[in-house]
Amino acid sequence: MRHAGTQTIETERLLLRPLTPEDAPMMYANWANDPDVTRWLRWEPHKNVDETRELLAAWALLYPNGDYYEWGIVEKATGQLFGTIGVFTSSSAEPERDPWPGFDHTNGVWEVGYCIGKAWWNKGFTTEALKAVVEYWFKNTDSSWLACCHAFENPASGRVQQKAGFVYDHDSVYHKFDGTPVACRCYALTREHYEELRGLF
């Protein structure tokens, strides 16, 4: 599979860029310490900024890999870093996840994940970031499809995925890092469907 890695992406209101350990204070303050933000995510709120900095230091070591995709989301008008969006192989994160019958698994199952600070909810930022990453993915890789999932109890995330062109496929369960199961709905976007939608984005 052809990969492109985490290159900077610019949209009308956003800058998506690689993160560095120097981003730790803003990441911790704007979303990583907030239990409302992490409620449906696999990880727990960070206890302090040092925990955030350690995570970003670990990510920094992965950025040279061509198959690593993790962007910080920056609001251009304010310069505030307020979230992340990435693409990862869900099979490596959770091997027990549903196998997506009917889809090509030659290159693995690549899934988008995102989170943003509460102060930036309901402003269309997540949809804007997701559409940008979808476009980046299909322009810069030869992957035939992309997955996206959300917790049953977080339907707002599902609406974001639908606005970006994802189509519901099946129900599943993912697990938090502490083992807690979370029922979820899984969506897919094929390259063919993306090409049909591209003029509407």
In a domain, 31, yes or no: yes
Give pLDDT, residue 115: 96
Give pLDDT, residue 139: 97
In a domain, 4, yes or no: no
* CATH number, domain containing residue 145: 3.40.630.30
CA atoms lying within 13 Å on the CB side of residue 4: 16
Give pLDDT, residue 198: 82
CA distance 33 to 45: 5
Residue ranges in the chain modelled with pLDDT below 50: 92
Q: Structure pTM?
A: 0.94
In a domain, 47, yes or no: yes
Closest CA to 164 of 119, 120, 112, 118: 112
CA distance 108 to 99: 10
For residue 101, give the DSSP letter.
T
Give me the number of domains the chain comprises.
1
Give pLDDT, residue 137: 98
In a domain, 3, yes or no: no
pLDDT tens, residue by residue, 121-171: 999 999 999 999 999 999 999 999 999 999 999 999 999 999 999 999 999
Domain span holding position 61: 9-200
In a domain, 2, yes or no: no
